Amino acid sequence: GLRIPSFTQTYLSPGSGVVTTYLRESGTLKSLEKLGLHVTGYGCNECIQNEETNGLKPDIKQFVNENNLITIGMISGTRQTQQRHSLIKANYVTSPPLVLAYALAGNVLTDLEQETIGVDNKNLFLKDIWPSRQIVEEIEDEIIIKKLLNQIHENIQTGNPQWNSIRIPSIHLYPQYPWAEYSTYIKRPPFFDTIAKHNPLSKTICIDNARVLLYLGDDVSTDHISPAGSISRTCPTAKYLSQKG
């Protein structure tokens, strides 16, 4: 049957648990898992994935680096900058079915209209696996229904044992984040000190004529500002953290 090449790194990170539910109920998730696509997290989980523990095989990384290969990423999310992975030279956004098609092909230079994307007793083309609009609408009508969405949203407040066991520090009248003075990751912003001093019980803040803090170009992502994933040993962030011990 169809297989995703071993040199292609894949992640399945739905936007929410709702998506996972209708993927499972429609039988789509089972087919994806046969291809090696298991749900690894939600939302931005894979945007900050740890390449050292959940990435390409070391020999593939070495081959890419030694030969200075132009490696490409294909995603169906909103973060298309190449910084999503240290080895990626370019990143492109497309629909989820096309992401899967290119993963099967293993090469973005593949002409999906003319070239095969795999073999299953015969050569398979994109048109052979692309569902018709009728099939999609039937699944939508049967699976993605209001009852399903309401059921999941009703359980949001219930949480789970891990979430419910988190201890919340109580300061004054309502919980506040326990800021660490020497944290290298997140600092207590000073912007609201004056407001809190004059009206400590107020939960509403009126901000007028606020200035832009950062005005950045297209190739700058939030990971440049506050890295949350793997940090290269040679980048400025690593140097800063080393200086902090």
Strands 118-119 and 123-124, how do they pair? antiparallel
Phi, psi of 83 (to 5 degrees): -70, 0
Strands 118-119 and 170-171, how do they pair? unpaired
CA–CA distance from 75 to each of 4, 80, 157, 165, 224 (Å)? Answer: 15, 7, 31, 35, 19
Average pLDDT in the 116-141 region?
A: 89
- Distance between CA atoms of residues 175 and 188, nearest Å: 15
Q: Where are the domains of the chain?
A: 17-154
Average pLDDT, the chain: 80
Average pLDDT in the 122-150 region?
A: 84
Q: Model confidence over 172-207: pLDDT tens digits?
A: 555 677 788 888 878 888 776 766 676 666 666 777
Q: What's the pTM value of the predicted model, to 2 decimals?
A: 0.69
Please name the helix (run of DSSP H) or strand (run of DSSP E) that holds residue 33, with its range, or none. helix 28-34
**8 A C-beta contact, residue 173 and residue 201:** yes
Nearest to 46 by CA among 3, 107, 18, 88: 88
